[in-house]
Amino acid sequence: MSQTISVRCKLIVPQELRQEIDRTLQGFANACNQILDTAKQKNCWNTAKLHHLVYRPVRAATGLKANHVCQALRRVISNAKAVKQVHKFRPTSLTLDVRTFKYRESDQAVGVTLMSGRVWLKLKIGGYQIALLRGQTPTSATLSKTKQGDYYINIAVELDTPPTGKTPKVIGVDLGRRDIATASNGRSWSGEHIQAVRDRFSRVRAKVQSKRTRSSRRLLRRLSGRERRYQTWLNHNISKTLVRDAQAIGAALAFEDLTGIRDCLNQKSRSKAERRRTNNWAFYQLRMFVTYKAAIAGVPVVLVPPAYTSQTCHKCLHIHPEQGKSYRSGKLFKCGHCGWEGDADYNAAQVISLLGATVNSPEIPKLSCPLGPLGIGIKPAPCA
């Protein structure tokens, strides 16, 4: 099996080539917009049919190479499928395939076909990117230009992944707002500092939005980028640590399947601040980062139903006998049956670990409470 990842590399672009790259980026964006207009007018979203409608007119209007037009067509169709409505494409990126892109390992350079022809550009990369690209023959990439005027190329490479066999060892991970992530092996990432940073971003955004000027709109875009990069950076660090810990002991990683949890929570009556805090963190991004890193490391990732994971005692598997009540109070969990007392998020992570073991190894008996008829089992539930 293999896992495709994107290796981001900075390009060393001579001053005389910058104008030609920008011209190609603009032509590619114009081609995408022309194809999009035709697709909307003809209500045609089939790749083959749309190709016959737009190929020759787009080439004549933009002067792009044949493969650039084909890639623009694929970009429009894929974006239309991914989002509800595509408004306009900007000249910020160019999709390349095997005919318009080539990687040369000997001198760490890439060949990119522009409107005027192929040019070779040196890569400014470190040991991490060199190790990922070693021995690779990539066939696709995306050239992009940042707001600061720098050029990057994201090279798609395929890495062989070891098989993810069954293992009785499972590290459960409980995701939350008070603590971003708590693992059953004792690791925890407190959300206190993170929440303070997010609240600060929110206050600044609210202050800037009230001005309604052109400079305020530019500042809003910068703030949005900073907060997004902060989330991405932290999620990368958390996911890397979780995968490394699981790989070290030959364990699987278990997460709650929180699909649809945001819609479920938003149905409840909450303040605007609470709604923002709940919706703002990218938990799905964290899980995706863990998934692809785990695939490369050969670590299995399993999802378990979220029902009662925070209300069940991991020692005796007992749930409060009265419906609507719980032994959990904030950060404290105190079981009324076996008497275990400790951190509530750590307890939930342990429960997720037990559930993950039954999912990853079905031969393990189903979980049940030894103290009475109440307990938990592997059955789906819409919300926690």
Per-residue pLDDT tens over the stretch 323-353: 778 888 888 999 988 889 999 999 999 999 9
Work out the average pLDDT over 365-384. 45
Is pLDDT of 97 > 90? yes
Strand partners, 153: 9, 143
> What integer pLDDT is reported at residue 194 of this predicted model?
75
Give the percent of the chain with pLDDT over 70. 85
DSSP β-ladder status, 341-343 and 109-114: unpaired
Residue pLDDT, tens place only, 148-202: 899 999 999 988 877 766 778 899 999 887 788 999 999 998 877 777 777 777 7
> What integer pLDDT is reported at residue 363 of this predicted model?
59
> What integer pLDDT is reported at residue 89 of this predicted model?
93
Residue spans of the domains in the chain: they are: 2-160, 170-190+231-360
More confident site: 191 or 263: 191
Q: Is the CB of residue 288 less than 8 Å from the CB of residue 5?
A: no
> What integer pLDDT is reported at residue 172 of this predicted model?
94
Give the pTM.
Answer: 0.70
Among 282, 266, 264, 285, smallest CA distance to 274 is for: 266
Token pair, residue 266, equals 């938003």
DSSP β-ladder status, 141-145 and 179-183: unpaired
CATH number assigned to the domain with residue range 170-190+231-360, chosen from the 4 options 2.30.30, 3.40.1350, 1.10.238, 3.30.420 = 3.30.420
Token pair, residue 146, equals 């940042």
